[in-house]
Structure 1
């Protein structure tokens, strides 16, 4: 998927750390950000979640929903949120369906080993359910601000 092509976001329905089940259809009418990250309580993922938390009020003022997504369980998400005082709700994609649908479940290499894992990626979805911007292979530094700037530009 290129950064500029409009593609319909895959429908989903996942448990959220907010205690609700969140579906794409629930987000209709306003923009939404889904940021996929590999694992709770790891250094890069913690920094990314803290950066989105720091800007969460600004996203909310733009009527933009923001969700972090990983394959971690709800119990793991709840511990992560509590330990790091995160404001951004986290979605649990334990079976990996949403990761597959967004194409972020990929082959990765680390220390000479090949394995499957979540590519750090972020998707901006407009109020009509179209992906208007995709960031692949995200570098954490300044990323949340870049996403906020893209939401402002909508």
Structure 2
């Protein structure tokens, strides 16, 4: 599968979301979207990333940007994650990993010599026309939300 790049049309998705609803890219059409993929709720890096985006949610909102986090966790786990850390981002439950696969972030990983499939931390900034404006792969959490905000300001 070819890696998505700047200028490509972002693949649509339709996922169960926190709060019992659903979230889809087509529903957000006409607005810029930060779509960030993370491996698992309530793990240290994923928690820091969600909190960092939450802390900047007002700045993103002023730009009309919606932030959506996606992991293979269930919507119920997302609800617990949001409640535990007082998160303000929307979270999509990609339990069958179809969205992660479409974005090329469902990859073979390795830990302690064992190989397994998992989510590569990545973020896609999607413009109001549904085109990918910026891609961050193998994201390091410190400073990442701020870098995404800077890129969103340039849209």
Query: What TM-score do you get using the length of structure 2 for normalisation?
Result: 0.95
Aligned partner of 2:89 in structure 1 is 88
- Aligned position for 1:100: 101
Tell whether the 8 Å contact from 2:94 to 2:100 is kept in structure 1 after alignment. Answer: yes
Shift of 1:20: 2.6
* Stretches (4+) displaced over 3 A: none
Alignment of 1:56-67 (within 5 A): 56-67=57-68
Aligned to 1:36: 37
Any unmatched runs of 5+ in structure 2? Answer: none
- Specify every segment of 5 or more residues in structure 1 that has no aligned partner in the other structure, as ranges: none
> What are the Cα deviations for residues 77-102 of structure 1, in whole angstroms up to 9, with x where unaligned?
11111111111111101111100000
Across the aligned residues of Structure 1 and Structure 2, the Cα RMSD in angstroms comes to 1.2
**1:74 alignment partner in structure 2:** 75
Q: Tell me the distance in 2 between the aligned counterparts of 1:88 and 1:18.
A: 12
Q: 1 CA distance for matches of 2:148 and 2:40?
A: 20
Whether the aligned pair in 2 keeps the contact of 1:18 and 1:89 (CA below 8 Å) is no
- How many aligned positions are there? 153
- Contact 1:123/1:131 (CA < 8 Å) preserved in 2? yes
